[in-house]
């Protein structure tokens, strides 16, 4: 019975308080009615803006096709791919041709020489080096001579020659070993750059996917801020209604309105962050013609289990930086072999065979060449060597130190692989724990706000508490979303640390370097 009396007295007191309040001052402070909001408290587009739908897999395929960093890397690889052919050009056959004409009518001191001499010749040649290091040379030429000298036995004569020459190195570049080593070295450098190119492409894909997850976070943040704004607006209306019937005070209404204005600012900032994230992703995809991008990949949480030992084994097998160092190590070993070869003296065998012909008729002189009646033979050896060999010893020492340096880099790279994989695995498990905890925190904060709203409706709470609890709910929701996004980022980071991100995204290394043959990637040409 006592409770009823207390409730009646409280109701009578509130009624008298409402009747005694100055209406004019209240209207001046609160010009709004309970059924409307001021124009600057209503926000258009209270939901996340639309745009072209795009999933994470579609973004990856688009990136492989259009990302400018990837295109630049791919073009650099195409340039390097020409180097082996260029190196093989030392075995190309070279063709030469010369033709000269000489007319001389200068005065001579002897009548034997005559007063006029005409000379013309045509010369052709083929020169080629074979993989044994042998230089082969074939030459053929015909020379025409004419004079008015009475002492010339054959006036208007044709002299023809054909000659085959051979030069074979016997010590330095022994049977072409150095030449073959240099070509092999270029192949190793090309292989190394291929690993580096694919690695750069995967890094670009990793950064692109990070931007996609940033856009997902911005999208969810915008939705949360819009939801918070609507709840703040609804609470403001409820507070105004309670003010009209005398169940709340003016400061509560002021606090509710200030809360709405803060939520408006939060929403506008979230919208700006969304537009920035969308623009950044468009730059990565080189799709500036698209007005906006709407991420559609869902944050479905499915915890993964990772075997650290298997992850390390996969990393050591797949890491391209390690493979690039292995190719570099082989190249440096070739460098050392070449330096050792260059310490040897130069000793080469030279030999040639020539046949000539002389006649008044050109055809007859050329026919004499192939009758082999007038052969010429030549054979000899050439030898040269620096006595001090300072440059050779210095080059050899540099090659040895370079080889040792790459070995040290490989050892360091393996330790870094262990560290990166360990860090990425721990990041995944930390992200899983964070998701579990933040989801529970979000549920608790929602329960806390729901209970406090019931208290407010029965007059046992105030605006300040409700506003604080609403802020807690928004923070909890965003914490849960950030935890989910961090989880998916950590998964990408793990696959990146083992250099399996491209394979996980359905892109082979061949498709990364030359994507034209992959139908799935081709389908990612446009949004």
User: What dihedral angle (degrees, nearest 10) is formed by the CA atoms of 39, 42, 44, 49?
Assistant: 160
Integer CA distances (angstroms), 362 to 117, 156, 337, 353, in order: 18, 10, 52, 22
Tell me which residue has tokens 């020169």.
127
Rounded CA-CA distance 266/40 in Å is 14
Helix (H) or strand (E) holding 286: none
Domains in the chain, start-ordered, CATH in brackets? 52-81+194-316+429-525 (1.20.1600.10), 92-130+134-172+346-384 (no CATH)
Ramachandran region of residue 51, left (φ > 0), alpha (ψ -120 to 50) or beta? left
Tokens linked to 169: 């190195």
Please say whether the beta carbons of 443 and 472 come within 8 A. Answer: no
Cβ count within 10 A of residue 201? 27
Tokens linked to 439: 């989801």
DSSP secondary-structure letter at 386?
-
Minimal CA–CA distance to 345: which of 397, 298, 395, 382? 382
DSSP secondary-structure letter at 517?
G
Q: What angle, 0 to 180 degrees and rounded to 10, lies between the N-to-C axes of helices 177-244 and 250-285?
A: 160
Q: What is the pLDDT along the chain (527 residues), one digit of tens a residue?
A: 444 445 455 444 444 444 344 333 333 333 434 445 555 566 554 455 667 899 999 999 999 999 999 999 999 999 999 999 999 999 999 999 999 888 877 766 665 666 677 888 889 999 999 999 999 999 998 888 877 665 555 567 788 888 999 999 998 889 889 999 999 999 999 999 999 999 999 999 999 999 999 999 999 999 888 888 888 888 888 888 877 777 777 788 888 888 888 888 999 999 999 999 999 999 999 988 888 888 998 888 889 999 999 999 999 999 999 999 999 999 999 999 999 999 999 999 999 998 888 777 777 777 777 877 888 899 999 999 888 889 899 999 999 999 999 999 999 999 999 999 999 999 999 999 999 999 999 999 999 989 988 888 887 888 788 888 888 998 999 999 999 999 999 999 999 999 999 998 888 888 888 776 445 444 444 44
CB neighbours of 145 closer than 8 A, spacing ≥ 6? 117, 118, 119, 156, 157, 159
Which segments of 55-134 are extended strands (E)?
A: 94-104, 117-129
CB neighbours of 274 closer than 8 A, spacing ≥ 6? 48, 49, 215, 218, 219, 221, 222
Please say whether the beta carbons of 257 and 294 come within 8 A. Answer: no
Rounded CA-CA distance 448/450 in Å is 6
Rounded CA-CA distance 203/493 in Å is 10
Q: What angle, 0 to 180 degrees and rounded to 10, lies between the N-to-C axes of helices 56-66 and 250-285?
A: 40
Which segments of 130-205 are extended strands (E)?
A: 135-147, 157-169
Phi, psi of 49 (to 5 degrees): -65, 155
Tokens linked to 219: 């999208």
Tokens linked to 273: 């962050």
Rounded CA-CA distance 400/24 in Å is 95
Rounded CA-CA distance 233/41 in Å is 8
Minimal CA–CA distance to 256: which of 41, 71, 517? 41
Please say whether the beta carbons of 441 and 476 come within 8 A. Answer: yes
Using a cut of 0.85, tell me whether the model's pTM lies above it.
no
Judging by beta carbons within 10 Å of its beta carbon (0-12, 13-18, 19+), is residue 354 exposed, middle or buried?
Answer: middle
| Chain centroid, CA 44 distance in Å | 40
User: What dihedral angle (degrees, nearest 10) is formed by the CA atoms of 358, 359, 363, 364?
Assistant: -90
Rounded CA-CA distance 43/272 in Å is 14
Rounded CA-CA distance 235/259 in Å is 9
Judging by beta carbons within 10 Å of its beta carbon (0-12, 13-18, 19+), is residue 181 exposed, middle or buried?
Answer: middle
| Chain centroid, CA 11 distance in Å | 73
């Amino acid at each position: 019975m006592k409770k009823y009396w207390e409730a009646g007295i409280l109701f009578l007191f509130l009624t008298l308080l409402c009747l005694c309040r100055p209406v004019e001052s209240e209207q001046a402070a609160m010009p709004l009615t309970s059924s409307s909001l001021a124009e600057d408290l209503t926000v258009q587009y209270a939901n996340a803006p639309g745009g072209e739908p795009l999933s994470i897999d579609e973004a990856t395929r688009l990136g492989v096709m259009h990302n400018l960093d990837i295109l630049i890397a791919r073009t650099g690889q195409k340039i390097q791919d020409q180097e082996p052919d260029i190196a093989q050009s030392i075995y190309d056959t070279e063709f030469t041709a010369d033709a000269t004409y000489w007319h001389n009518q200068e005065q001579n001191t002897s009548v034997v020489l005559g007063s006029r001499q005409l000379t013309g010749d045509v010369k052709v040649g083929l020169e080629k080096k074979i993989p044994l290091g042998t230089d082969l040379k074939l030459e053929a030429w015909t020379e025409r001579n004419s004079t008015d000298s009475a002492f010339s036995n054959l006036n208007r004569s044709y002299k023809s020659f054909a000659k085959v020459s051979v030069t074979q190195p016997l010590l330095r570049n022994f049977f072409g070993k150095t030449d073959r080593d240099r070509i092999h070295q270029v192949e190793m450098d090309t292989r190394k750059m291929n690993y580096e190119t694919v690695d750069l492409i995967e890094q670009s894909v990793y950064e692109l996917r990070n931007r996609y997850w940033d856009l997902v976070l911005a999208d969810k943040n915008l939705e949360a801020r819009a939801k918070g704004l609507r709840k703040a607006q609804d609470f403001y209306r409820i507070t105004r209604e309670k003010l009209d019937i005398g169940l709340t005070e003016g400061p509560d209404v002021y606090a509710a309105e200030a809360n709405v204005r803060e939520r408006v600012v939060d929403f506008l900032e979230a919208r700006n962050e969304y537009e920035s994230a969308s623009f950044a992703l468009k730059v990565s995809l080189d799709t500036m013609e698209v007005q906006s991008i709407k991420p559609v990949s869902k944050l479905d949480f499915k915890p993964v289990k990772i075997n650290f030992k298997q992850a390390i084994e996969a990393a050591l097998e797949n890491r391209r930086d390690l493979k690039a160092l292995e190719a570099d190590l082989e190249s440096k070993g070739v460098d050392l072999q070449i330096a050792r070869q260059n310490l040897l003296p130069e000793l080469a065998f030279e030999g040639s065979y020539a046949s000539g012909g002389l006649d008044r008729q050109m055809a007859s002189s050329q026919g004499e060449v192939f009758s082999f009646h007038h052969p010429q033979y030549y054979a000899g050896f050439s030898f040269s060597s620096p006595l001090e060999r300072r440059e050779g010893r210095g080059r050899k020492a540099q090659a040895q130190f370079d080889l040792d340096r790459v070995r040290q880099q490989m050892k360091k790279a393996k330790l870094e692989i262990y560290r990166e994989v360990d860090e990425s695995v721990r990041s995944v498990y930390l992200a899983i724990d964070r998701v579990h905890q933040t989801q529970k925190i979000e549920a608790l904060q929602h329960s806390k706000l729901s209970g406090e709203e019931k208290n407010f409706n029965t007059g046992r709470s105030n605006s300040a508490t409700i506003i604080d609890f609403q802020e807690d709910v928004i923070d909890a929701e965003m914490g849960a979303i950030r935890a989910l996004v961090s989880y998916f980022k950590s998964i990408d980071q793990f696959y990146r640390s083992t250099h399996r991100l491209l394979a996980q995204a359905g892109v082979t290394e061949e498709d990364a370097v030359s994507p034209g043959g992959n139908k799935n990637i081709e389908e990612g040409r446009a949004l």
